[in-house]
Structure 1
Amino acid sequence: MTALALLTAGCGTPQLSGIQDLPLPGGADLGDRPYEISAEFADVLSLVPQSAVKVNDVAVGRVTRITLAPGSWSAKVTMRINGDVRLPADAYAHLEQSSLLGEKYVQLAPPPRTPRTPKTPKTPHPPKTPVSAAGPLRPGAVIPLSRTNRNPEVEEVLGALSMLLNGGGINQIRTIATELNKAIGGNEPEVASVLKRLDTLVTSLDSNKTDITAALDGVNRLSVTLAVRKQQVGRVLTGLSPGLKVLEQQRGSLLTMLRALGTLSTVAVDTVNKSKDDTIADLKALAPTLKALADSGKALPDSLQVLLTYPFTDEVLRGIKGDYLNLYLHVAAVSGTTVIPPLIPQEPTGGQSAAQLPLPLPLPHPQAGGN
């Protein structure tokens, strides 16, 4: 055995560290260009190195090393695969058992969205698995813990079956069924109504999940803001304490005021009810006045403008030239009016002053001029 190890080391192959590194007879053909991949398992059970690695139940490789993954409690299984086998980058690794008491092996499979090829009999040439859109599984890749699992052990199945057959599970199921029959018996319509309303509630919650998420995010932001301003909120609450004490002291007065407001509202409602007819009559009487004001249109504001600016309205301002006001009057005497000749003012004599001269007679009224 030592001579064989030295001979293989001298030929350029990896040096054997023990008998466990020797390939088992009848194992998978790795070909000339094998590559290594790894997979993380939560529990490898009794899997050992040199165990088979299969695709569609056809051996395509073997397990070379089982170690503890660094920084975790999961097991890292290193496998060497035939170079002609192409696996998808998102492949799954399952830990399975060849029979009830058979050996453990690793089954590699494409993801569920990729159709699996039908099982084929074991042939010297391993099958080629379809490559998904994620690309091929490259050498050195690691299948994460989320894409690995294992089949239940025989001991686990027998233990569960024992508990079920010994009355544990059956008695519990029977008790549950009996109690459900007692609760639902005679209340089938009510239960159906509750289920329908529950379905409506769940549907409504599902359709409004975006708004619910936004509301929860808003509550989260509010809680964060309150946590940041905890001291300010504490000071505000401390400052509210004296005010609350004053309100507590004046509680009787506040209640009296509220009762008085209630009485006032009752009187006000009664007054409005009693004066309803008079109010309606007054409003109807105002209708013609309001209609006339509405019909006046622009005339009313224009007349108010003239009233407030009399005698210098906007029309008068057009005749003002500089600092003087020019007034143009067209006077026509009524037919039959006697026109008095123009008055020539008398010069004051030596003994008279201008104040002592006789005043001119006023013009007669146009209607009295014909008499």
Structure 2
Amino acid sequence: MTTTPRTRRAWRLAVVAIVTAVGLSGCGLQSIQEVPLPGGASLGDHPYDVTALFTNVVDLVPNASVRTNDVPVGVVREVRLAPDGWTAEVTMSVNGDVMLPANAMARLRQTSLLGEKFVELGNPAIGAPQGRLQNGAVIPLDRSDVGAQVEEVLGALSLLLNGGGVEKIQTISRELNNTLGGNEAQIRALLDNLNVFVGTLDKQRSDIVRALDSLDRLSATLVTQRAKIANVIDNLQPGLDVLNQQRGLLVGTLQALQRLSVVGTDVINRAGQNTIADLTALQPILQNLIASGDALPGSLQILLTIPFADNSLNVIKGDFANIDVTVEISLQGLLQNLLGVNPAAGNLNQIFALLQNQQTARATGNPLIALPGVLGANTAPVPTTTTTTGAGTGAAPAATGGGTGTGTGTTGTTGGGTTGTTGTTGSTQGEGN
């Protein structure tokens, strides 16, 4: 069998392909995508995996570069759709010697205007770096960013150019010149006021944030009470119907209240001076009450216990209490306090008048007539007295006075034993006259 140069070349290519396939299978590579690109990042012996979530990865593909400060430190392993169906998950392998903070940010950037996409890992935009990024860490959406893409910029520019915006720039410029021309002072004052306004807002920033936080809490509370609020709104219609039915009465009430206010205003105007005088007279009382201070509550507490002291009830143990009372009664005290007579002064005429009042009281049925200390001054007639000399000798007084004396008799009584008896009565309280 003769071989031609073409046949020998085909055999060589077949051998090279077989050797290459065997070599690739021996290295464990499953696809051409796993072949490392020349000039790529070195992952080292112990790389760690990090997953970042993006709202849009544009045209990022596996094996794209992962960089930190524009230095390649890893490679994109996989780009897939998250379980929520709206988010893209990007799994990256990073060199184990590269230390990144636990709150690192992931940004999708582009090497040049028309270059490839890559993922940049760096420090957070807000706040200080904290901790260290570990294997299996997930960078959430609030720490990922997709910058403006060339396609988006060109699309916006095309809207401006193709939509006729360029031709209107001259019109806009002309109208601005007409507006600002001759109004420089007003525009300058407006800018100054705007500057003051913005500065005031900046000073009140904490209050504004606090108000927004309070509004957020209020909104959350309203959301939790949504069922109750809906119930109140549903039940509000019957109440409005009742108010509509009572509209005439409500209007009449308001009109009557208006008339009452007119009358009340007139009364207040007329009684104004008297009210001021009363308040002025009340001022010393209030000042004394204020001056009493803490003593006033204690006085009120004692007032409620009269005639017994506050702790007197503690003496009684049970349902009864023993008491020992000594009462001292004197005839002089009774006559002086009840009858208004001082027996020590020998006012026998007053005693006789009181005895006569006793007879009048029994006749009229009012026993209090005889007691001037109870009903005031006694209006009963006082009998006149005359002094007569008895014919006989009066008996000796049984009290202090001894011997023979002349008695003082009442009108219509003369001589003898009557005079003596009266003398005895007088000597009961003193020496006979």
Normalising by structure 2, we get a TM-score of 0.52
SS at match of 1:266: helix
SS at match of 1:48: coil
Query: Is 2:49 the partner of 1:36?
Result: yes
CA offsets, 1:189-242, max 9 Å, x none? Answer: 577457646755775574375467547746865786584276577667636744
Select 2:399's aligned residue among 331, 342, 353. 342
Q: Could you tell me how far 1:44 is from its partner in structure 2?
A: 2.5
Q: Could you tell me how far 1:262 is from its partner in structure 2?
A: 0.9
Distance between the aligned counterparts of 1:30 and 1:58, measured in 2? 13
Q: Could you tell me how far 1:248 is from its partner in structure 2?
A: 0.8
SS at match of 1:137: coil
Distance 1:174 1:23, change over 3 A: same
Query: Is 2:12 the partner of 1:16?
Result: no
Select 2:148's aligned residue among 145, 152, 155. 152
* Contact 1:343/1:360 (8 A) holds in 2: no
SS at match of 1:363: helix
SS at match of 2:90: strand
* Contact 2:105/2:125 (8 A) holds in 1: no
- 1:77 paired residue number: 90
Q: Could you tell me how far 1:134 is from its partner in structure 2?
A: 1.8
- 2:166 paired residue number: 167
Distance between the aligned counterparts of 1:177 and 1:267, measured in 2? 66
Distance between the aligned counterparts of 2:219 and 2:149, measured in 1? 47
* Contact 2:48/2:95 (8 A) holds in 1: yes
User: 1:99-110 residue pairs with structure 2 within 5 A?
Assistant: 99-110=112-123
- 1:136 paired residue number: 133
SS at match of 2:31: coil
Q: Could you tell me how far 1:23 is from its partner in structure 2?
A: 1.8
Distance 1:261 1:154, change over 3 A: closer
Q: What amino acid is the match of 2:238?
A: T
Distance between the aligned counterparts of 1:223 and 1:113, measured in 2? 31
Distance between the aligned counterparts of 1:149 and 1:203, measured in 2? 31
Query: Is 2:4 the partner of 1:7?
Result: no
Distance 1:234 1:363, change over 3 A: farther
CA offsets, 1:176-195, max 9 Å, x none? Answer: 85587489755455774576
Query: Is 2:202 the partner of 1:207?
Result: no
Q: Could you tell me how far 1:57 is from its partner in structure 2?
A: 1.9
Distance 1:176 1:98, change over 3 A: farther
- 1:327 paired residue number: 329
Q: What amino acid is the match of 2:138?
A: V
Q: What amino acid is the match of 1:266?
A: D
* Contiguous gaps of at least 5 residues in structure 2: 1-16, 289-298, 300-305, 308-322, 334-341, 349-395, 402-419
CA offsets, 1:280-299, max 9 Å, x none? Answer: 8x969x99xx9xxxxxxx9x
* Contact 2:99/2:132 (8 A) holds in 1: no
Distance between the aligned counterparts of 2:137 and 2:224, measured in 1? 42
Distance 1:65 1:210, change over 3 A: closer
Q: What amino acid is the match of 1:40?
A: L
Q: Could you tell me how far 1:85 is from its partner in structure 2?
A: 2.2
Distance between the aligned counterparts of 2:223 and 2:42, measured in 1? 63
Distance between the aligned counterparts of 2:272 and 2:114, measured in 1? 97
Distance between the aligned counterparts of 1:102 and 1:74, measured in 2? 24
- 2:238 paired residue number: 238
Aligned length: 307
Distance between the aligned counterparts of 2:58 and 2:233, measured in 1? 57
- 2:263 paired residue number: 263
User: 1:218-229 residue pairs with structure 2 within 5 A?
Assistant: 221=221, 227-228=227-228
What CA RMSD, in Å, does the superposition of the two structures yield over aligned residues?
5.3
- 2:103 paired residue number: 90
Bigger Cα Rg? 2
CA offsets, 1:246-278, max 9 Å, x none? Answer: 4514745752563255135315523545x689x
Distance between the aligned counterparts of 2:220 and 2:93, measured in 1? 50
Q: What amino acid is the match of 2:134?
A: L
Distance between the aligned counterparts of 2:38 and 2:200, measured in 1? 64
Normalising by structure 1, we get a TM-score of 0.58
* Contact 1:39/1:142 (8 A) holds in 2: yes
Q: What amino acid is the match of 1:76?
A: E
Q: Which has the higher helix share?
A: 2
Which structure ranks higher in relative contact order (CA pairs < 8 Å, sequence separation ≥ 6)? 1
